[in-house]
């Protein structure tokens, strides 16, 4: 007696069979007739329509919809093969078309959850179609056959999902590596001031180059698993509301990033609000356009060199606008160290007493020579401030006149030999 699947028929008029039908269609046609193949094509179309409804993103371009249709039709044909027992003993629902559509999801930047959702949706449509057909076509008591078909589909689901997920993750890894490499190459050429087409660059980067943006560089220890991408938006919010971001991996636990922002009103710049964990972040200044993309990154690089002067530097966030003078003064660290020694003399010595004198002298110079302000800041008397300032000036042999070199030397010394980072 012919298997009930040989009586499958499409409910809609079918066009000629598409060229992309694979060998499973020939096998089903040979064993069960054209009706079963046409039924599979119709069910594939139904599954594709439902997936497109639930995940409208796949409708953006014909390639994704075509890939889904090929995969759903192939899966339906495989299901008929399994139910009718006309395939090999190791026949599964997974096929090359399933790998193809999983790769298409990855290349379109969709998430694994999107793929898994499409599988759940498609499986539900397929199972309903098979069980409805069995109910209509199985003669006599159909409950046993319905149970068998249900169990068969259930047993295949895990394997089908695993194959699709593995294909997705493999393609996603390869695709992301290729995209990141292309973006890093382009960004490097832009930073080197090479001539590039701005419109094409925006397409490759997926990031707007016009308008205001800020560059940042972030890194952490290799043994840490902190997601550096998660700090980009919170850091950018110090300057405004991020509207787009570009993040490029540049090594193990290191990224370059840019953010297009709507600047805060009145130029307000609050403190950093990001929880940095064990991460270091350095940030360029708010700049505009293609040249600003380059300049802000170079400023961040300059701050990075400043931070990396200290081995074992702590996690920190440092913005160029806060250390612009130090960046200039420490462009040549060896020359800067010699400058400190020459200007500060004995005041540069590494002992607690000299540290107190330097601290008081720097505050005195920064606070417009106000004894009262320095005394309040350091919780000491004005007489003590006077004594420390005079002693410090004597130790560095300052003879009066301009204090520009002295102030610069004190700032450089703080970065080279004391706590180098502003507390956040």
Q: What is the pLDDT of residue 284?
A: 96
| CATH fold label, 333-417 | Arc Repressor Mutant, subunit A (1.10.10)
Task: Could you please state the CATH topology (level 3) that the domain comprising 4-176 is classified under.
Answer: Globin-like (1.10.490)
Written as tens digits, the pLDDT of the chain (424 aa) is 688 999 999 988 876 778 888 888 999 999 999 999 999 999 999 999 999 999 887 776 556 788 889 889 999 999 999 998 887 766 778 778 888 888 888 877 788 999 999 999 999 999 999 999 999 998 877 888 999 999 988 888 888 899 899 988 888 887 777 888 888 889 999 999 999 999 999 988 999 998 899 999 998 865 555 678 888 998 998 888 999 999 988 876 889 999 999 888 765 556 665 566 678 899 999 999 999 999 999 999 999 988 888 755 666 788 999 889 989 998 888 898 899 999 998 898 888 898 899 989 999 988 888 999 989 988 999 999 999 989 988 888 887 788 889 999 998 888 887 655 544 3
What pLDDT was estimated at residue 97? 82
Domain ranges, ordered by start, for the chain: 4-176, 205-329, 333-417
Q: What is the 3-state secondary structure (H, E, C) of the chain?
A: CCCHHHHCCCCCCCCCCCCCCCHHHHHHHHHHCHHHHHHHHHHHHHHHHHHHHHCHHHHCCHHHHHHHHHHHHHHHHHHHHHHHCCCCCCCCCCCHHHHHHHHHHHHCCCCHHHHHHHHHHHHHHHHHHHHHHHHHHCCCCCHHHHHHHHHHHHHHHHHHHHHHHHHHHHHHHHHHHHHHHHHHHHHHHHHCCCCCCHHHHHHHHCCCCCCEEEEEEEECCCCCCCCHHHHHHHHHCCCEEEEEEEEEEEECCEEEEEEEEEECHHHCCCCCCCCCCCCEEEECCCEEHHHHHHHHHHHHHHHHHHHCCCCCCCCEEEEHHHHHHHHHHCCCHHHHHHHHHHHHHHHHCCCHHHHHHHHHHHHHHHCCCCHHHHHHHHCCCHHHHHHHHHHHHHHCCCCCCCCHHHHHHHHHHHHHHCCCCCCC
Domains 4-176 and 333-417 share a fold: no
Please give the model's pTM, rounded to 2 decimal places: 0.59
């Amino acid at each position: 007696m012919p298997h009930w699947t040989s009586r499958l028929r499409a409910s809609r008029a079918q066009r000629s069979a598409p060229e992309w039908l694979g060998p499973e269609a020939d096998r089903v046609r040979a064993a069960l007739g054209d009706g079963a193949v046409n039924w599979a094509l119709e069910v594939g179309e139904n599954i594709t329509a439902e997936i497109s409804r639930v995940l409208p993103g796949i409708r953006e371009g014909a390639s994704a919809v075509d890939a889904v249709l090929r995969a759903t039709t192939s899966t339906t044909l495989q299901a008929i093969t399994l139910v009718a027992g006309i395939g090999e003993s190791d026949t599964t629902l997974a096929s090359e078309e399933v790998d193809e559509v999983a790769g298409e999801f990855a290349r379109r930047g969709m998430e694994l959850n999107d793929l898994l959702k499409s599988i759940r949706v498609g499986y539900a449509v397929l199972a309903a179609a098979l069980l409805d057909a069995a109910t209509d076509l199985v003669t006599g008591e159909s409950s046993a056959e319905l149970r068998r078909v249900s169990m068969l589909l259930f047993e295949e689901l895990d394997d089908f999902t695993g194959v699709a997920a593995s294909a997705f993750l493999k393609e996603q890894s390869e695709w992301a590596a290729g995209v990141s490499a292309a973006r890093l190459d382009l960004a490097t050429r832009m930073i080197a001031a090479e001539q590039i087409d701005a419109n094409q660059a925006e397409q490759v980067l997926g990031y707007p180059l016009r308008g205001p943006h800020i560059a940042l560089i972030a890194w952490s220890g290799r043994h840490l698993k902190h997601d550096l991408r998660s700090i980009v938006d919170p850091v950018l919010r110090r300057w405004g509301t991020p509207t787009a971001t570009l993040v490029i991996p540049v090594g193990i636990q290191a990224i370059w990033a840019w953010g297009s922002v709507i600047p805060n009103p009145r130029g307000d710049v609050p403190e950093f609000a990001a929880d940095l964990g064990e991460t270091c972040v350095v940030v360029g200044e708010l700049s505009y356009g293609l040249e600003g993309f380059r300049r802000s990154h170079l400023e961040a690089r300059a701050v990075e060199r400043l931070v990396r002067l200290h081995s074992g530097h702590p996690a920190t966030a440092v913005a160029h606008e806060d250390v612009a003078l130090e960046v200039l003064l420490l462009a040549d660290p060896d020359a800067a160290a010699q400058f400190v020694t020459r200007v500060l003399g004995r005041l540069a010595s590494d002992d607690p007493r000299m540290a107190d004198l330097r601290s008081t002298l720097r505050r005195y110079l920064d606070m417009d020579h106000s004894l009262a302000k320095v005394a309040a800041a350091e919780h000491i008397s004005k007489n003590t401030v006077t004594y420390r300032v005079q002693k410090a000036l004597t130790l560095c042999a300052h003879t009066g006149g301009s204090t520009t070199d002295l102030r610069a030397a004190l700032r450089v010394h703080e970065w080279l030999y004391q706590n180098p980072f502003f507390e956040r």
